[in-house]
Amino acid sequence: LGIKTEDLLAGRYKFEAGAGAGKVANYGTIVTQDGGFVYFVGKDVENHGVIHTPKGEIILAAGNTVEIINPKSPELRVEITASANETVNLGKIVASGGTIGMFAGNIRQGGLVSANTAEVNAQGKIVFRAKQNVTLDAGSRTEASGPKAGTVTVQAETGVATVKGTIAGAISSSVAST
């Protein structure tokens, strides 16, 4: 998806589909320093590789328009206009003590998503929020644990949330279909 120069310069992360908008896919390994940011934004987004950012933030967002609001806030919000757009993880996404978010029309988690931490003052947070359906495949693992626990939120706004995989750790989880 594209971003207008004036939005970027003003610190607004508003992405829109234009000519040539397409899929973003990772088949490699992406590693950041502590507190890093990895954002994949496209009409469809796939991770088949490894993304690791300790104490950082990872966002995979698919839609016709995607706006990331307050990216450095603990209450990060992503607004999406999507229908059949899809975010898929078949690889490994790790943000030890950080935040991981997958947002789209449909979400499929078939790999590992981990926000575990061993630090006393850190908490991991994982959010799967779809306009339609969220599927956690059999064999998948979603975990946010540590001394102060963590949270996993699975939300299918107008569809079905299907959890066949494992949600593990000292977590608080909610599965909602509204």
- What average pLDDT does the structure give for the chain? 84
Instruction: State pLDDT tens for residues 83-137.
Output: 788 999 999 999 988 889 999 999 999 999 999 877 766 678 898 999 899 999 9
> Of the segments 13-17, 21-25, 73-77, which one has the largest average pLDDT value?
21-25
Give yes or no for a contact between 141 and 171, defined as CB atoms under 8 angstroms apart.
Answer: no
pLDDT at 175 over 60: no
Averaged pLDDT, 153-158 = 89
From 73, 64, 75, select the one nearest 131 (Cα to Cα).
64
Q: Report the pLDDT value the prediction gives residue 176, as an integer from 0 to 100.
A: 53
CB 100 within 8 A of CB 93: yes
pLDDT band at residue 161, thresholds of 50, 70 and 90?
Answer: very high
